[in-house]
Copies of this chain bind each other. A is one copy, B any other.
Amino acid sequence: MSLDEATSKRHDRLHTYLAEDLDAVNALIHARMASEHAPRIPEVTAHLIQAGGKRIRPMLTLAVARMCGYAGDAHQKLAATVEFIHTATLLHDDVVDESARRRGRPAANLLWDNKSSVLVGDYLFARAFQLMVETGALTVLDILSNAAAIIAEGEVLQLAATRNIATPEAIYTQVIRSKTAALFKAATEVGGVIAAVPQARMCALASYGDALGMSFQIVDDLLDWGGASGKMGKNTGDDFRDRKLTLPVIRAIARADEAERAFWVRTIERGQQEDADLDHAMDLLRRHGTLEETRDEALRYAALAKGAMGEIPLHPVRNMLIDLADYVVARVS
């Protein structure tokens, strides 16, 4: 068994442990995305939700609730809430990014249109809030509505930074902390809140969620450049074409000489890209070692996440959550 297979196997253990909860969450998701009056809604959402992804965010809520000894079923509603917020964000991202593909299928805005993506996303946001209101837990409502505001703020911030090669690394960090880590963190926290864990443990949970989310997004951004080795494939180069600044590029720009700088200005700021430019960009990232550095950043956050779990009492799920941090970075390490 390779290292990759072993890591994936460990991730499966969490999935197996939560199988019953996950089935209940899937049933909830399907029931709540239905619409009596507007059949286009489940058409659009089924497309995204059935594609599935790894359900990593709702799994966090379920896992933490179980780990902290929660015995009710509100964690399932909250897990569905988290997945709805995530899916709504994806739908609105599809509009925003004019991205051609999402989760390996054609993006919803190409199959239908921008209008449907916006409005169905709104519907899912509203459904998410309905679901969490049903739990009646005000602290949970507070955490998740704050997270929703932070996510939107992060997306706006990212928009303002796109195509601007002066974007500093601090802005990148803030963008990914808002647009990605905030929901990982909130998903983790609400699992603890409904289990009524003491404050000190809440802090450890929040740190875990934040660090896992940071690591997850950095890996995602690195994979768009083919990972630490920079191996280009059919799913690489989208961020370059979208003129999006992620960590490997921001660091390469910071160390660019005059000619390199002119290259980034032309391709990212002005958007004048030719066929050979992606390969040249990749060469620059390799030359400056920023792909490996980015992988190291992802590993650093994964280690932070695992460290945070050290403050949680022994429990089978605790080890699975530690393994999850390894799983997130396995694709680039």
Contacts and interface: CB of A to CB of B under 8 A. Distances in A.
B136 A119 contact: no
A120 B151 CA distance: 11
A133 B126 contact: no
A237 to B, nearest CB: 21
A114 B141 contact: no
A15 B170 CA distance: 47
B153 A35 contact: yes
A129 B152 CA distance: 13
A126 B159 CA distance: 18
B38 A157 contact: yes
25 contacts: A37-B157, A37-B174, A38-B156, A38-B160, A41-B156, A92-B118, A92-B122, A95-B95, A96-B115, A115-B159, A116-B156, A118-B118, A122-B125, A122-B152, A122-B155, A123-B149, A123-B152, A123-B156, A125-B148, A129-B145, A129-B148, A130-B149, A133-B142, A136-B138, A138-B138
B114 A92 contact: no
A319 interface: no
A290 interface: no
Most B CB atoms within 10 A — which of A115, A156, A160?
A156
A95 B92 CA distance: 12
A178 interface: yes
A235 interface: no
Given A114-B95, A148-B126, A120 B37 contact: no
Q: Is the interface of A mostly helix, strand, loop or mixed?
A: helix
Contacts of A174: 37
A176 to B, nearest CB: 13
B118 A96 contact: yes
Contacts of A123: 149, 152-153, 156
A146 to B, nearest CB: 6
A55 interface: no
A119 B159 contact: yes
A115 B141 contact: no
A39 B146 CA distance: 18
A40 interface: yes
A68 B309 CA distance: 51
The 9 closest A-B pairs by CB, nearest first: A126-B148, A126-B149, A123-B152, A129-B145, A122-B152, A38-B156, A133-B141, A38-B157, A130-B145
